[in-house]
Amino acid sequence: MKPLVRLLAVALASLAVAAPALASKDVVFAVASTFTTTDPYDANDTLSQAMAKSFYEGLFGFDRNMKLIPVLAEGYTASPDGLVYTIKLRHGVKFQDGTDFNAEAVKVNFDRVTNPDNKLKRYGLYKIIAKTEAVDDFTVRVTLKEPFSAFINDLAHPSGVMISPAALAKWGSKDIAFHPVGTGPFKFVEWRQPDYLKVEKWDGYWKKGYPKVDSITWKPVVDNNSRAALMQTGEAQFTFPVPYELAQVLKAKPDLELVAAPSIVLRYLSMNTLQKPFDDVRVREAIAYAINKEALAKVAFSGYAVPADGVVPDAVEYSVKLGPWPYDVAKAKKLLTEAGYPNGFETELWSAYNYSTAQKVAQFLQQQLQQVGIRTRITMLEAGQRVQKVESWPDPKTAPVRLYYVGWSSSTGEADWALRPLLASESWPPVLFNTAYYRNDQVDADIKGALATTDKVEKAKLYRDAQERIWKDAPWAPLVTEELLSAHNRRLTGVYVMPDASFNFTDIDLR
């Protein structure tokens, strides 16, 4: 009976799956959530921006290892005062509607995002631009309001794409989201909101010979297990993220390949340094000592994470290796005794997310802290609660957050965006995300100084100083840098998950 069932199953499955795949090269990507928009300037989620790379390209971009590379630009020069950037553009590029890509197009795009009336969600990233001028057809001059040395990284951010000026004029700043036209390898076909978004090969793409597949269907599948099931049934050829618990199962499937890629996502436990007992650095250190990061990686991430060895992940520019923070229960207890808490204390432990990995982490942290006498009450915050109780709490003095488990992806690939929003004193909620309410004037000065200089050596020195000070002050217990797990069918090549959890699929092909 059983072999017969298997045979029947295989026959049916191959009929269902193989037939369309032979006809043309159509690829299905199963992703974790629905897209909020196709307009990268108005998107706040990495996924929507990653998807938009099907049809959009930026002046700069990142390669698979978060190295800055020119895309529609050929190169740039910065003035010594760090205020004026002159960018040379690639020749012979057209938008999918036939419009030429030139300096005027760049100006239209920058003018659009820097105009607050357009109310774009990425305004903050580009408001530093004072003006954009087309010097000639293929030269753009961008003048900044103040020196900002991470500017080119901002342009490489997945939101910084070039939209056809003709399409923008035709559809307007809002409706362009439903009619995207860019210079990318694929043309937009259809977006059935909850169901899928489809793009097809564009023959006029400037990089000859690309793309190598005929279409990509982006399919949001919210449930982790269902998404993994889709890979096993062959309904999708690529999926991200793969839940850590299922890695073992997918790895065992002969037609699937599981890939673990390094990330710039740092997971940490922030401690409210304005409140007792976390105002005492010994307590903060004790907590950092009390957590076994190796075991955390094993228990919650099925081994697909590495203990954090600094406050900025390795792959981010200017990061400094300082750790990992050792696991030492005896030392933790000693520090707690010195601080006046020989029997520990009770406190709140909040998790910024409520998905299953975060639940495991929170419970793991609770177990670990209980070993040194710190008793915690866990609350898994749902998005709205997180915003209300943490991110937009108006008064730092009364903020209810204590221990807070959260993660951060430094999406510009540069130390500024890894430090300033999380650890500069100007970034206390509700401004940004300094949930530790950490303040160190020297760190503030370092961060500010690094932004003002374009000298790489000077920058590296300043960022090193800041990171070392933060490590010593321990406003966080750094936990792990997680790995990004994706799976793809062995017939599919050329799709990578980048360290910022965005995708690179310029070389996509299906055998």
Partner 1 sequence: MTQYVLKRLAGLVPTLFAIGVLVFLFVHLLPGDPARLAAGPDATPETVALVRKDLGLDRPIAQQFVRFADGALHWNFGRSLSTKRAVAEEIAERFMPTFWLTVWSMAWSVVFGMAIGIASAVWRNRWPDRLGMTLAVSGISFPAFALGMVLMQVFAVDLGWVPAVGNDSWRGYVLPSLTLGAAVAAIMARFTRSSFVDILGEDFVRTARAKGLDERRVVIKHAMRNALIPVVTMMGLQFGFLLGGSIVVEKVFNWPGLGRLLVDAVDMRDYPVIQALVLLFSLEFIVINLAVDVLYGLINPAIRYR
Partner 2 sequence: MGSSILRSATDDAASGERVRTPWSEFSRKFRRQKVAVAAGVFVVLLVVVAVAAPWIVPYNAETYFDYDALNAPPSLAHLFGVDSLGRDIFSRILMGARISLAAGFISVAAGAVIGTLLGLVAGYYEGWADRIVMRICDVLFAFPGILLAIGIVAILGGGMANVIAAVAIFSVPTFARLVRGNTLGLKHLTFVEAARSLGASDRTIVLRHILPGTISAVVVYFSLRIGTSIITAASLSFLGMGAQPPTPEWGAMLDAARSDMLVAPHEAIFPALAIFLTVLAFNLLGDGLRDALDPKIERV
Q: Which residues would be at the binding site for partner 1 (CB under 8 A)?
A: 5, 9-10, 12-13, 16, 34, 36-37, 43-45, 116, 119-124, 127, 174, 177-178, 192-195, 220-223, 225-226, 229-230, 232-233, 235, 382-389, 391-392, 411, 417, 421, 430-433
Cβ-contact 184, 50 below 8 angstroms: no
Looking at 80, 92, 384, 394, which residue binds partner 2 (CB under 8 A)? Answer: 384
The residue (of 6 and 321) whose beta carbon lies closer to partner 1 is 6
Q: How far is the CB of 91 from partner 1 (least distance, A)?
A: 34
329 belongs to the binding site for partner 2 (CB under 8 A): no
Whether residue 149 contacts residue 452, with contact meaning beta carbons closer than 8 Å, is answered with: yes
Start-to-end CA span in the chain (Å): 34
Interatomic CA distance for residues 37 and 483, integer angstroms: 27
Residue 486 C-alpha from the chain's centroid = 15
- Tell me the backbone φ, ψ of residue 313, rounded to 5 degrees: -60, 150
Reference 246, options 5, 485, 426, 489; nearest CA is 485
Asked whether position 380 contacts partner 2 by CB under 8 A, the answer is: yes
3-class secondary-structure state, position 72: coil
Residue 246 binds partner 2 (CB under 8 A):
yes
> For partner 2, which stretch binds (CB under 8 A), given 30-38, 332-340, 361-369, 481-489?
361-369
Phi, psi for residue 283 in degrees, rounded to 5: -65, -45
Torsion of CA 120, 123, 126, 130, to 10 degrees: 100
Element (H, E) at 144: strand 139-144
For 411, phi then psi, to 5°, come to -65, -10
Nearest CB to partner 1, comparing residues 48 and 164:
48
In terms of CB distance, is 360 or 461 closer to partner 2? 360
User: Toward partner 2, which CB reaches closer, 369 or 422?
Assistant: 369
Instruction: Determine, following the binding rule CB under 8 A, whether residue 137 of this chain makes contact with partner 2.
Output: no
Residues numbered 166 to 195 that lie near partner 2 (CB under 8 A) are none
Q: Find the shortest distance in angstroms from Cβ 278 to partner 1.
A: 23
Examine residue 275 and tell whether it contacts partner 2 (CB under 8 A). Answer: no
Cβ-contact 60, 160 below 8 angstroms? yes
418 φ/ψ angles, rounded to the nearest 5 degrees: -90, -25
Decide if 368 contacts 477 (C-beta within 8 A). no
> What is the nearest approach in angstroms of partner 1 to the Cβ of residue 216?
17
We find the least distance from the C-beta atom of residue 359 to partner 1, in angstroms, to be 16
Tell me whether residue 249 or residue 259 sits nearer to partner 2 (CB atom): 249
By CB under 8 A, name the binding residues for partner 2: 224-225, 243-246, 248-249, 295, 298-299, 354-356, 359-360, 362-364, 366-367, 370, 378-380, 382, 384-385
